[in-house]
Chains A and B, each alone.
Chain A
Amino acid sequence: MDYATLLQVLDSTVRLATPLLLACLAGLFSERAGIVDIGLEGKMLAAAFFSAAIAAITGSVWLGLLAGIAAALVMSGIHGLASITFRGNQLISGVAINFLASGITVLIAQDWFSQGGRTPSLMGGGRFESITLPFAEALRGVPIIGPLYYELISGHSILVYVAFLMVPLTWWILFRTRFGLRLRAVGEAPEAVDTAGVSVVGLRFAAIAICGLLTGLAGAYLATGLQAGFVREMTAGRGYIALAALIFAKWRPWYALYACLLFGLLQAVALRYQNIDLGGFIIPVQVMDALPYILTVVILAGFVGKAIPPRAGGEPYVKER
């Protein structure tokens, strides 16, 4: 493999890791506040459809982005209503959200566009254009560093840079602000937060609102950045891979970045090479598909370091009387 090919694979790793990273950080906020979210997939899917649909109708990708975020926020609201207000089972609520998004997107797409559950292809202002960073053209001729800067670091859409900036921002919010401390506390010991006079319900709703915002960005990137339009089931299990990455990262922001890059790399390699030939020993493409899930099971089983989730995760909070 030469340098140019390596850069191409890494470039597509960055593109494919972006939706994973946004969804993974979304799940991080939610789960750190004690709300288990297996509905990441559904929120992304809803956001992908509404961003593409509104972008196709209005021709403005920014309006599309807003619509996508709004759709993901509505889904988050349903999850919050079920799991915070009515203290229902968070897992079941997440499953319901995934199915709701899977069905309703195709239903509305068929009603609005009559193209078999897809949106028209987005063109021009309906998509996020790639941004060429300063000096990218000028530095292109410089050996090694030039192509690296031009191919890998420059030339992505704005949401990619937003996603990567979200990592330090998430770290700062969670570990350096009062809000972050309270948010982590509500996922570990909600009764203590309640005793301190801070609203558990309010904090948890804030957490899932952030989760909705980030899954909205993730879905919008899928439909208007990575691809040009919505097709049915276009998230293709990315929400679950993000969930896997979250466990892999043991609910920490920087590790989430590494996990998402790793899983993005696996996807990029699986996309580019069907079967990998290691000198007579062939790794089938299905192994690459399954690897994120297998790694997660291994991590969860505690064979490679223990993954300990937030203590109050999945438990509805009942105030003592």
Chain B
Amino acid sequence: MDKMPAWADAVLVPLISILLAAFLSALVILAIGENPVEAFKLMVDGALMRSTGWGYTLYYTTNFIFTGLCVAVAFHAKMFNIGGEGQAMIGGLGVALACLFIPFPHWSVALIVATLAAAAFGAAWAFIPAWLQAKRGSHIVITTIMFNFIAAALLNYVLVNLLRPVGAMEPATANFPAATHLPTFQDMFASEGNPLFRGSPANVTFFLAVAACVAFWVLIWRTKLGYEIRAFGHSESAARYAGISPVRITVIAMLISGGLAGMMALNTTMGEAERLVLNATEGAGFIGIAVALMGRSHPVGVFLAALLFGFLYQGGAELALWTNIPRELITVIQALVILFTGALDNMVRLPLEKLFLATRRRSS
């Protein structure tokens, strides 16, 4: 018999965790002498009440969907991929190389090729830690952390020494050719009389991210490979008895994970900056951890959690603009979400389980 009904496990536990995180965040805002209600109103105002705000919110959401799915697929195989940040950096390199060196006739062709490049580069960066974990038994968490730093050094080297245009000071590539520029929401939805999403960076990659959510669901719950990944995640020994190769699943799951992280770079590099800069990922790889934990590694949950973090990111920028609250407030909220939905899960779950058991006993 289950201790809790499924809906409580999927909805109630994360909800209480998030409320706890929100409550503590409000206390933090109070402690630095600001009004949490006013702050929340400002965030909603800046992120959700105007189409430009939505344009930014959905732009961040796109990043977090990709990195959230990246962490989630590894979670299904019971692996913790902290390397999303590095994989996204290297994915950005793939995007930049494709956009700079292939003469594309149209953005749609460029998007397809750049997507493949981003996924391939990100997956390649995840391959080494995966292979080392599967074959040599080195812990994937430590190797992916190390690979984040190695990726940063590598990207730094490539940008400063190889891809920087002659005479430029900033470590960044040249601007991508105009044919690779992706249509933004403004291009797609604004008209003469109705200027929607003005100047905001949300672009066509958002739909790619939504498609990735659907593909993720199909992969994990409707294919043989997804079944194998989940079986491996639940019990490695049982999976091995069923003839599932641990090496194969570890490597494949991490390749998918790295590929998804790499695809995040499409949004930042091709969609927004239209060139590769040094800090293109801006920590989105780490936010993926919070998103995947909060979304319970389910694509619907990941989408909603990414939307929440997109709102927090845009709202946090507004707060920093209009009040004395720095953007780092969002980092604190992110930490609290990871803490409550991830590490302190049992703190919420155990009392709830007791509560449900008690009510069930009384009713029977």
Contacts and interface: CB of A to CB of B under 8 A. Distances in A.
A96 B156 contact: no
A167 interface: no
Interface string A285-313: 01101100110110011100001010000
7 contacts: A88-B343, A93-B339, A103-B333, A104-B335, A107-B28, A296-B146, A301-B138
A92 B294 CA distance: 12
Nearest to A308: B137
Interface stretch (A56-64, A76-84, A139-147, A156-164): A76-84
A190 B344 CA distance: 22
Contacts of B330: 103
A287 to B, nearest CB: 7
Interface in A81-115: 81-83, 86-93, 95-100, 102-104, 106-108, 110-111, 114
A208 interface: no
Contacts of A256: none
A44 interface: no
Given A107-B32, A286-B157, A296-B142, 7 more contacts: A78-B339, A95-B342, A96-B336, A111-B31, A293-B153, A300-B142, A307-B138
B158 to A, nearest CB: 9
A302 B138 contact: yes
B145 interface: yes
A125 interface: no
Contacts of B332: 99-100, 103-104, 107
A132 to B, nearest CB: 37
Given A110-B324, A289-B153, A96 B343 contact: yes
A40 B335 CA distance: 15
Interface string B200-214: 000000000000000
Interface stretch (A6-14, A170-178, A239-247): A239-247
Interface of B: 28, 31-33, 80, 82, 128, 132, 136-139, 141-143, 145-147, 149-150, 153-154, 156-157, 160-161, 286, 289, 293, 324-326, 328-336, 338-339, 342-347, 350
A18 B145 CA distance: 22
Given A92-B289, A284-B157, A111 B335 contact: no
A300 B139 contact: yes
Nearest to A240: B145
Interface residues of A, number: 49
Most buried by B among A92, A114, A302, A307: A92
A27 B327 CA distance: 30
Contact of B28 (A104, A110, A244): A104
Contact of A92 (B329, B333, B338): B338
Residue among B132, B136, B153, B154 with max Cβ neighbours from chain A (10 Å): B153
A309 B137 CA distance: 11
- Top 8 closest A-B pairs, CB basis? A103-B331, A93-B343, A99-B335, A103-B332, A300-B138, A290-B153, A100-B335, A92-B342
B149 A89 contact: no
Nearest to A303: B136
A58 B330 CA distance: 30
Nearest to B80: A91
A307 B143 CA distance: 13
Contact of A86 (B146, B153, B346): B346
A138 B80 CA distance: 57
Nearest to A107: B328
Contact of A88 (B132, B142, B154, B344): B344
Contact of A237 (B28, B149, B286, B334): B149
Given A82-B344, A297-B138, A297-B146, A103 B289 contact: no
A104 B333 CA distance: 10
Contact of B147 (A86, A97, A297, A307): A297
Contacts of A309: 139
A187 interface: no
Given A92-B342, A106-B326, A107-B28, A293 B157 contact: no
Which of B132, B143, B150, B286 has the most chain A CB atoms inside 10 A of its CB?
B150
A88 B334 contact: no
A82 B138 contact: no
